[in-house]
Every structure is written in structure tokens, then in C-alpha cells.
Amino acid sequence: MATMRFREALREAMIEEMERDERVFLMGEEVGHYQGAYKVSEGMLEKFGPKRVIDTPIAEGGFAGIGVGAAMVGLRPIVEFMTWNFSAVAFDQILNNAAKVRQMSGGQFDCPIVFRGPNASARQVGSQHSHAMEHFYATVPGLKVVAPAFPGDAKGLLKAAVRDDNPVLVMESETMYALKGEVPDGEHVVELGKAQIVRHGTDVTLAAYSRATHVALDAAAALEKEGISAEVVDLRSLRPLDENTLVASVERTHRMVVVHEGWPYGGVGAEVADRVQRLAFDALDAPILRVATLDVPMPYSSKLEQACMPQPDRVVAAVKRLLVRGRA
Amino acid sequence: MPADSNIAHVATEQSTPAPQTLGASASPAATPGAAPGAELEHLAHLYREMLLIRRIEEESARAYAEGKIGGFLHLYIGQEAVGVGSIAALRPDDYVITTYRDHGIALAKGMSPRALMAELFGKATGCSHGLGGSMHMFDKEHHMLGGYGIVGGHIPLAAGVAFASKYRGDGRVTLCLFGEGAVSIGGFHEGLSLAALWKLPIVFICENNEYSMGTPLSRSMSVEDVSLKALGYGMDRDRFFADDVLEVEQRIGEAVKRAREQSLPTLVEVRTYRFRGHSMSDPAKYRTQAELEEHKKRDPLHRARALLVEKGYGEPRLDGIEKSVEAEVADAIKFADESPEPTLADLEPTTYKGPFAY
């Protein structure tokens, strides 16, 4: 078991998959000569050369489309967005081409492509650079979306994403790239669609993913001091979503709070709440609550930004509402 | 029979002068040492393909009026020489990708009229099992990479296909067709920019039919010569009228050669005209009947047929072609009519490869 940073785990996944399969290549802005805007691809140009580590101009719609076209005829591209915010100008390629080409061709063409990059808030980067884009993409049939919270899962999920025959979107976090964690030695592939319980508890289930998993863990630690036992389910995969793990957890704890970045209107939290209340209605002792980013564009001010983002104290407050009052 | 297809009856009277020679330079069928008559047979083959497209389109319009085809239906009538001539310049393993006006392109690339008509009828035997429809004609076996419904969205895709050919060194060329209406959108510029930057083996063909839906070129672009856009990307360009299918084949052939031998892209503006509205709901009131009639005098089918007659191909053989096309079209319609519809069970397996991701 090696300890490595989140960015190193992603890099190791890409290197291993590129060594394993000639059809895999990395494309994106500053991935090569610059060594990656966040140094995820550091050293990869030197290792694989410019044929397989390809610097692109600032043209997300163009190079996302190039990736989709290449995937349709048999290559397996990894397309890096410098941040998922910029995927908004490539939305048409992901929504209309990557997600739909299999169905609109009657199953003749596949699109084995990975789109990856940092997602959601960074630090004071303002309203246009702080979007949690997974909520837009996870609604689209034809796509798969994963959002790891730990280096080991980052590596394992990215490797699984590269090997998947469908478009897989990997949501990372700028604020987690330096996070250290254990990564199993040898071939480490994490199956898409499997959540994991990262802290066991009995009183409430906190469902989260990506950076919000750490917020939930902090909240669980704070709740423990007050004698409240919280279970934390790290979703890891948003589409497919692991209903079984969520339902099994709620059947033990009878309460749930979903924690994620991004706005509260619709989105992954609403989806989780809908499924759990449908599938485990009798197990619930209280409504499912969500702790999300406040329903405004992200402000620049550090204090306001922190106030908008999900924080452990808001999670704690939500749990207490459920436990103390038994209702929302 | 609808008016557009009265070729056999009016061809000898039509006013477009036939060229003095068969094409400006050698077509693929006219290799040195080819048997005499090979060129004529080749033209007859192209004429047959164009006629098949026209008759399929006319019957599609009829079926649409009968309610057998739903949604949008964008007909290729008038533009047949572009698709047929261009694809004639390709190898069978070359790739073709196009916009939503895709029936003629798919047929020219080798799709069977049965698979095409069944797709229009929304049947399980259609090329895309009735899940794609008029705008999404895909045929993997013939390397037809589909028609796409978002204007310009497929242009970066096409560059990606050419990128894959260069990556693998497979020697294949990608042909990407679109209308002049796509030239204003970002996908066009990003696709051309990257194709030029990375020297991709691709031919971009702008089928300039003068109207982007109901808006004439003069009201949609500051510079009406689309081919000039290539200059900004340092890309080779060409521009000509699609009256003569052999000229289309020859001129596109030069661009294909450049792509195959030098891995360089070309932007070709082929000037053409659609004889029908943008789609079935469009009565085309933005243009005059006189303008339409002028363009119909330059019908590439008439021209090809007149040339065949002049070169002695003979009415009996032309009659044979026309009869066989009629039989093929009738067979396609019968097949589509009698085919089963897709079922709900077809949806999940075509959305994801492997288990459905929910």
C-alpha cells in the first residue's frame, strides 16, 4: 500500500492505462509542455511523447468533439478540462454527441471516452469558476459520472473509466489534488457504481461524494463528541448510483442527510432523496435533508464563499434537526 | 411521379449545355488503359446513384404526406451531385459524416435503400433500428458515421475521426459535409482550426445551397465566399458549382488526394441548390418560383443523363437503369411498410454498452 497524493494517483492511473493500451491518449489544455495546469499530467509528455499527450488550443468544444469522433472509430481518449466549468462550452459535444451516438446509431457506434478535470469550488475563484457541473451531467442517460474523494478511489475509478465502453466523466477537485491517501499496490480498479461506507454509525446516514465526503466526515467527528453516531456513505459514483448501499445504510440509521456542492434545486441530492424515500420509506424516521451550496452564484469574498459552501456545522445542524425534532 | 423526377421525359429537351468531354480530368474509373466505355459506365453508375437518391427522396416526401414518416424530413433533391460525386472520390474504407440532410449521403456511401427507408418509417429494420430517424443515418459497415441534428456540432467530430486515422496511420480520409448555415457557428471554426493545426487528413465540404433554412447567404454572412474562411487557417480551398457530378468527383478527388498523401485538410465550397424547402413544413416562400426554375435548368441529373445520351449510352440502357431504380425504391418502401416497429426492450441496450447505468 503506497501513500500518494490525489493528483499522483490520477497520474498513475493514466500512465498505467496508456502503457496497457496504445489506443489511450491524453488531450487537453496545458497537459503537455506546461505539465498540467494542476500538475496532474506532470512528466507524461516526456514519457509518452506528443503523439499521446496532446496540448490543445483553448477550444473545449473543438477538442471535446475531436475526442468523441476519435472514440467513435476506436480510440480511447482521456480529455482533460482545465476545469469542468469550461466544459459548458463543450456541453453540446457531451450532451448531443458523446451521450447519444450509441442510441441514435441503433447501437452501432460506441463512445469510450473519459472527460476529467477539477470540479466545483476552488478558493475564491468567483462565480464562473466554481460550478458543480456533475448535477448537469448526471441527469443525462448515456453518460456515467464518478466523483472520488480519496486518492485510492481516484486511481481505481479513473482506470475503470478508461476501460469502460461508454463516456465516463470524472469529477475531481482542485482543493483535493494535494490530499494524501493510501493506494493499493498492483492493479487497482474500482468498479463504477459502487458506494462505500467510509465511517460506520447508527443514528444518521450522511451521503456525500468528492470534497463533500470530507465535510461529512468532519461533521461526523463533531457529532460523535455530542454522542451522535453518524454513518458516512461516500457515493464515489453518481451515475450509476448505488441505491443498495444507501438503502441498507438508512435501514440501519433511519435518517439521512445528503451533502454536496452545487445548488439545491434538483441535482444529485434531490435524486438521492427521491430514491431513498421511494425505496426505504418505511425505514425513515424523518424527511431526508440536503446540505448544498446556497442558491446563489458563488461570490468572491472569502467569508461569503465559505458561507455559501456546505460546511460541517451546517451538516451538524441538519442532523440535529432530524434527531432532536424528528422532523425537518 | 413528382415533377422533379421526370428526367427520362425531359432530359433531351433541357437547356443546360452538356460539356464537350467527359469530365475535366480522369475519374477513378478512367485510369489509363481502362477499357473504352469504362468512363461511360462510370458516369452511368453515378447517374444511377443520383437518380436513386432523388426517387427515394420523392417517395419519402410522399410517405411523409401519408403520415408514415414523422418529425423532420430534410430532402436532398437538387444536391445529389455533391454527395454522389464526392463519395465517388473516396475509397470504400474512408469515413463520411454529415449534417441532418443526410439521406443522399448515406445512400451514396453504400447504405441500402431498405435500411434507409425503414429508418424513416421508424422501423426496427432501419439502419439505426428506428431510434435515429431522418437526421441520424448511421452505417458502420460502410463507414457512414451518421447525420447530426445540431448545426456544426459534427464538424469537430469529423476532425476527431481524421485525428484517429492519423494517430493509427491507417491512410483513411474523412469527408465532412455541412451546409453554409454551419459556417457561422463555433463548431465549424474550432473544427477547421484544429484540423489545420494538426494537419488532419480530412476534406470539409460546405454544401452551399444558398439558404440556411429561410435566410439567404446575403443576410447570414459578411463574406459570401465561404471558401475564403480557409485562408485564416492556412488551409487549402476550392470552390465550384455542382452541376456536373464528374467535376465534383474530380475536384473533391484533388482534396482527397491532398488529405491522403500529405495529411492536409481542405475546405471545399460546393455551390448547389435544393429544389424543395428546408424541411417538409417549409413552403419556401423566401424565394421566387423563377429563381427555382432557373436552378432546375441546371439539374445535375438532367446534365448527367444528357451527357450519357450524347455519348451514345443509349436510351434502352438508360431505360434499364431507370426501371431498376424504380424497382429498388418500390422494394424499399414495401420492406419498410412491412417491417416491425422497435420495442421498449431496444432502448436500454442502445443507451449504454453493458449494463444500464441508472
Among residues A137, A196, A146, A166, the alpha carbon closest in space to that of B353 is found at: A166
Q: Is A135 among the catalytic positions? A: no
Residue A97 to residue B148, Cβ atoms within 8 A: yes
Cα distance between residue A173 and residue A40, in whole Å: 11
Among residues B246, B290, B296, B256, the alpha carbon closest in space to that of B276 is found at: B296
pLDDT in tens, A196-218: 999 999 999 999 999 999 999 99
Distance to chain A for B160, nearest Cα, Å: 4
Residue A104 to residue B138, Cβ atoms within 8 A: yes
Contacts of B218 (CB under 8 A, 6+ apart): B224
CATH number of the CATH domain containing B289: 3.40.50.970
Are the beta carbons of A209 and A260 closer than 8 angstroms?
yes
Top residue of B123, B142, B163 to mutate, by most chain A CBs within 10 Å, is B163
- CA closest to B119 among chain A residues: A106
- Residue B174 included in any domain: yes
Which domain, by its residues, includes B321? 36-340
pLDDT in tens, A50-100: 999 999 999 999 999 999 999 999 999 999 999 999 999 999 999 999 999
Residue carrying C-alpha cell 448531443: A96
- Residue B125 included in any domain: yes
pLDDT of residue B29: 45
Q: Largest alpha-carbon pair distance within chain B?
A: 64
Cα distance between residue A1 and residue B173, in whole Å: 47
Classify strands A24-28 and A76-80 as parallel, antiparallel or unpaired.
parallel
Cα distance between residue A271 and residue A260, in whole Å: 12
Please identify every stretch of chain B with a pLDDT value under 50, giving residue numbers as ranges. 1-33
Among residues B207, B201, B190, the alpha carbon closest in space to that of B268 is found at: B207
Are the beta carbons of A13 and A7 closer than 8 angstroms?
no
Cα distance between residue A57 and residue A95, in whole Å: 22
pLDDT of residue B4: 47
Indicate the residue of A51, A73, A108 with minimum beta-carbon distance to B161: A73
pLDDT of residue B285: 87
Cα distance between residue B275 and residue A152, in whole Å: 61
Residue A25 to residue B167, Cβ atoms within 8 A: yes
pLDDT of residue A328: 55
| Helical ranges in chain A per DSSP H | 6-20, 44-48, 60-72, 91-92, 101-104, 134-137, 151-163, 211-225, 243-253, 267-279, 302-308, 312-320
Whole-Å CA distances, B330 to A111, B212, B326: 36, 32, 6
pLDDT of residue A278: 98
Point out which residues pair with B212 in neighbouring strands: B215
Tell me how crowded residue B26 is: count the other CB atoms within 10 A of its CB. 15
Distance to chain A for B247, nearest Cα, Å: 30
**The one-letter amino acid at A205:** T
Among residues A135, A106, A129, A132, the alpha carbon closest in space to that of A119 is found at: A132
The mean predicted confidence, pLDDT, of chain A is 97
pLDDT of residue B356: 96
Indicate the residue of A57, A109, A193 with minimum beta-carbon distance to B140: A109
More confidently predicted of A109 and B220 = A109
- Residue B124 included in any domain: yes
- Residue B353 included in any domain: no
- Residue B18 included in any domain: no
Residue B161 to residue A61, Cβ atoms within 8 A: no
Cα distance between residue B204 and residue B195, in whole Å: 10
Residue A166 to residue B129, Cβ atoms within 8 A: no
Residue carrying C-alpha cell 466526515: A217
Cα distance between residue B102 and residue B73, in whole Å: 10
pLDDT of residue B3: 43
Are the beta carbons of B197 and B232 closer than 8 angstroms?
no
pLDDT of residue B35: 57
Tell me how crowded residue B163 is: count the other CB atoms within 10 A of its CB. 29
Residue B99, helix vs strand vs coil: strand
Q: Is A131 among the catalytic positions? A: no
Pairs across A and B, CB distance < 8 A: 159
Cα distance between residue B21 and residue B221, in whole Å: 36
The residue from A60, A80, A134, A305 that is catalytic is A60
- CA closest to A67 among chain B residues: B160
pLDDT in tens, A153-178: 999 999 999 999 999 999 999 999 99
Are the beta carbons of B47 and B321 closer than 8 angstroms?
yes
Cα distance between residue A320 and residue B128, in whole Å: 54
Q: Is the pLDDT of residue A240 over 50?
A: yes
Top residue of B139, B151, B193, B351 to mutate, by most chain A CBs within 10 Å, is B351
Residue B153 to residue A97, Cβ atoms within 8 A: yes
Are the beta carbons of A214 and A199 closer than 8 angstroms?
no
**How far apart are the two ends of chain B, measured CA to CA in Å?**
50
Question: What is the H or E stretch that residue B81 is in?
Answer: helix B80-88
Point out which residues pair with B336 in neighbouring strands: none
- Burial of residue A302, with CB atoms counted within 10 A of its CB: 0-12 exposed, 13-18 middle, 19 or more buried: exposed
- Residue B349 included in any domain: no
Residue B347 to residue A192, Cβ atoms within 8 A: no
- Residue B8 included in any domain: no
- Residue B21 included in any domain: no
Tell me how crowded residue A180 is: count the other CB atoms within 10 A of its CB. 13
Phi, psi for residue A237 in degrees, rounded to 5:
-120, 130
Number of domains in chain B: 1
- Burial of residue A139, with CB atoms counted within 10 A of its CB: 0-12 exposed, 13-18 middle, 19 or more buried: middle
Point out which residues pair with A80 in neighbouring strands: A28, A116
- Burial of residue A97, with CB atoms counted within 10 A of its CB: 0-12 exposed, 13-18 middle, 19 or more buried: buried
Cα distance between residue B246 and residue B21, in whole Å: 10
The residue from A8, A16, A129, A260 that is catalytic is A129
Classify strands A168-172 and A196-199 as parallel, antiparallel or unpaired.
unpaired
Contacts of A28 (CB under 8 A, 6+ apart): A41, A54, A55, A56, A63, A79, A80, A81, A82, A117
Cα distance between residue A182 and residue A159, in whole Å: 16
Residue A105 to residue B130, Cβ atoms within 8 A: no
pLDDT in tens, A34-51: 999 999 999 999 999 999
Q: Mind listing the domains of chain A with CATH numbers?
A: 2-183 (3.40.50.970), 196-323 (3.40.50.920)
Distance to chain A for B75, nearest Cα, Å: 19
Which residues of chain B are within 8 Å of residue A101 when distances are taken between CB atoms? 146
